[in-house]
Amino acid sequence: MSDFTPNEMMTIAAARALTSRDVCFVGIGAPSAACNVARLTHAPGITLIYESGTIGTAPDVLPLSIGDGELCETALTTVSVPEMFRYWLQGGRITVGFLGAAQIDRFGNINTTVIGDYHRPKVRLPGGGGAPEIATSCHEVYVTMAQSKRGMVEKIDFFTSFGHGEGGDHRQQLGIGTKGPTLLITDLAIWKPDPVTREFTVVSLHPGVTRDKVQETCGWRVAFSDRLEETPPPTEPELATLRALKARSEAAHRGAAPAARRGSKDG
């Protein structure tokens, strides 16, 4: 088995959560890498949807933004953004929303708006985009992010995307009928919400990761499952697919010739 990085483990673990039956609303960055690795390996039938209105897209390289021409060029069809949100998303046709986060709390509430006070922020982040609607309208939501005490916090600075609120049945109390965040994949572990409290609980540690390491990089007291497992390490095909995808993307974003990009689809 080849050596692998924590980020590669995170991306591959996230990819494994998807199936060919899924219709997935894809976020840019790590979620996009995970979804496309799934499409190129065990889930060739997955339908990937990006916020710009591209449906059934199969990018050869990872997009830099939702407006990347690669998405439209490889999509089965492209619809208007209002149609994407009103008919597809809010119409309940999307099974999984895959999001990233700048900050997340133990109940899966996400901040991608500001760090610090909203009116005088320390850092102004890219904002919510379509993430707030994705978080409430997709059947369920997966989140991927690298662990740090800055990112995994006791209290987020701004509610951009609603997770499980204050825990328990808070979503249902607000009339939100979808499941919300059901999976958190970090570079150290896999987390799932407790069935009752909805607090994210570690169910699997990645190879070589200890409980202490998870706690050291998290801003709240971590709950571990009684049946804690070890995440299976990446396989050679999974690693080869991810690395080839990233190599093509880096070459394309440096302005490599299109022929060089299109000649590597077997990765």
What pLDDT is recorded for position 257?
46
Mean per-residue pLDDT, 197-208 = 98
Cβ–Cβ under 8 Å, residues 110 and 131: yes
DSSP string, 86-135: IIIITTT--SEEEE--SEE-TT--EE-SEEE-SSSEEEE----TTHHHHH
Mean per-residue pLDDT, 48-55 = 93
Mean per-residue pLDDT, 181-197 = 98
User: Model confidence over 245-266: pLDDT tens digits?
Assistant: 999 999 988 875 444 444 444 4
Residue 238 a catalytic site member: no
What distance in Å separates the CA atoms of residue 224 and residue 204, rounded to the nearest whole number? 9
- Geometric angle at alpha carbon 129, from 162 and 48, rounded to 5°: 90
What pLDDT is recorded for position 265?
42
Percentage of the chain lying above the pLDDT 90 cut: 86
Q: Say how far residue 141 (Cα) sits from the centre of its chain.
A: 8
Q: Is the pLDDT of residue 19 over 90?
A: yes
Q: Is the pLDDT of residue 1 over 90?
A: no
Identify the structural domains of the chain with CATH numbers, from first to last: 6-262 (3.40.1080.10)
What distance in Å separates the CA atoms of residue 62 and residue 180, rounded to the nearest whole number? 26
Q: Is the pLDDT of residue 7 over 80?
A: yes
Catalytic residue among 8, 51, 70, 133: 51
